[in-house]
Structure 1
Amino acid sequence: MLIQDSINPLYQQLADIIRNSIINGELRCGDKIPTEVELSEKYDVSRITVRAAISELVELGYLVKKQGKGTFVTKPKVQRKIEYLSSFTAACEANGLKVTNEVIKREIVEPEIEDKKDLELEDDDKLIYIQRLRFADGEPLMLENNYFSCKRFNFLLTEDLNGSLYELLKKKYDINPSDSHDSGYDRTTIEIAKAVDEEAELLKVQNGEPLFYIKTVIYDDKNRPVHIGKQYVIGDRYKFVIS
């Protein structure tokens, strides 16, 4: 039960009880929690207190409200610093999630005018297009689309790309993608997009589901362009942190 004269406010105590039930597995992803009225009666607190506790857990990503259906336990959001080079693998592992990757496409394509400019391509150069589906605990979370100069990165056509791409570039080819705050050369934007067709099918979400769309041009520590990235991330499973 809740302690009325505790230093911690009642809503915080209730939020902690529900959160611990989720962490301990008593409440699982997809479970519906009791209504505000039921929680109010069970813990002998006002509905305002219950509402504050639920709001906090929704904000933290433990619960999600569904209009007309109730409040449900949701999958934990992956928290990641708002830097493109912040490792997806490290971010997932920090949140207790195991990362796996699946290469969907690996092919040579013709560059657009903007691609030639961004990657400083020679006139006769083409692009290597690599699409990977990235999983957290076996569930798809990110659809990754990367474009490289074919002349400079032709080795990617035969490399094993199931691990960290940046680690491969660093350790085997001495190519070091630079952090955005250090180099000043990469350009990254984050927008909200809607899942359609291919994205929806691969990420196993409904058409129209909100996604983060991250577009970037990454440079190495010698100020040479490495790749163009166009990534789609499931919106309700991800949270960016400004540091």
Structure 2
Amino acid sequence: MSKKETTPLYKKVIDDLKSMMDKGEFKKGDLLPSENELCKTYNTTRVTIRQALSDLTNMGYITRRHGKGSIVSEPKKGLGILSLHGVTAGVGDQTLITSILQKPVQQSWPSGFPYEISQEEQEAGCMFFTRLRIINDKPVLFEETYITNRNLPGFLALDLENRSLFKTLNDQYQVEIKEGEQQIWAIHGNKNISKLLDIKTNHPIVHMKRRLQTNVPELNIYSFVYCNTQEYFLQDYF
């Protein structure tokens, strides 16, 4: 059976409408066909069409106004940073610059660390650094990273500027991400975070805490990410 035959109809509606907007057949400010018209075009129900329009709204392609319909907006671009493949793999063909703000340093785990640290990790300590990820000349992600200081000789001397952390760990130490957990909130950025992301203080941002387990026992990666989603939305595929 082909992939096309197994694709849910609402996704086909999304793909078709996105394609027409990307090609300029529907421009910013244009009204999309009504729900009734789309039902007839795709020979389907309102439930299917509304699911497609809801997803397009979440992607930033359209806004929906009661009594008027679906209006084409300036679409945002997706960042696939929710997966365990990392930011570098999630930005696609967009231009990514990784700036190291705090170079890696060896230290003890900070007091009040939000994750439970094993006795082995406590004794090993951690390596801490911060990065600012700039996409298409706009600061989008600020990330604080803690890595268990275990079986990573020479890590502090590595140049991580414009390099993928996960690929570096794999190439240099054969460390691979096996599984993880992440928690996500919407918060108001404080003065320092807002300045780094070039947004107004207290503007809403996405905050994510991640704990990633590797193939090396008691070697974990912890990251605290602050994301400006004014021009991007977060996405992943399952």
Partner deviation per Cα, 1:24-82 (whole Å, 9 max, x = no partner): 47999xxx626xxxx59xxxx779979x89866423322468xxxx97414323245x4
* Alignment match, 2:74: 73
Aligned counterpart in structure 2 of residue 33 of structure 1, from 29, 33, 40? 29
Superposition pairs of residues 144-159 of structure 1, within 5 angstroms = 144-150=143-149, 152-153=151-152, 155-159=154-158
Conserved in 2, the CA contact under 8 Å of 1:189 and 1:215? yes
Alignment correspondent of 1:183:
none
Structure 1: unaligned runs, 5 residues or longer: 1-11, 181-185
Of 198, 205, 211, the residue aligned with 2:205 is 211
Superposition deviation, residue 21 in structure 1: 6.8
Q: Tell me which residue corresponds to 1:168.
A: 168
Range that drifts further, 154-163 or 112-121: 112-121
Given that 1:130 and 1:145 are in contact with CA atoms closer than 8 Å, whether structure 2 keeps it comes out as yes
User: Is residue 78–residue 238 contact of structure 1 (8 Å, CA) maintained in 2?
Assistant: yes
Q: Partners of 1:168 and 1:234 in 2: how far apart?
A: 26
Percent identity between the aligned chains?
18
Q: How many residues align?
A: 206
TM-score, length basis structure 2: 0.66
How far is 1:149 from its partner?
A: 3.5
Give the 3 Å change call, closer, same or farther, for CA 27–165 of structure 1 in structure 2: farther
Q: Residue 167 of structure 1 aligns to which amino acid in structure 2?
A: K
* Residue 215 (structure 1) shift: 1.2
Aligned partners of 1:233 and 1:196: how far apart in 2? 13
Q: d(CA) in 1 for partners of 2:190 and 2:165?
A: 26
Which structure 2 residue ranges, 5 or more long, are not aligned?
A: 1-12, 39-49, 65-70
Distance in 2, matches of 1:61 and 1:127, equals: 39
Which residue pairs with 1:198 in the alignment? Answer: 192
- RMSD of equivalent CA atoms: 3.9
Residue number in structure 2 paired with 1:238: 233
Inter-partner Cα distance in structure 2 for 1:47 and 1:175: 50
Q: Partner of 2:91: helix, strand, or coil?
A: helix
TM-score, normalised relative to structure 1? 0.65
Contact (CA 8 Å) 2:139, 2:197: kept in 1 or not?
yes
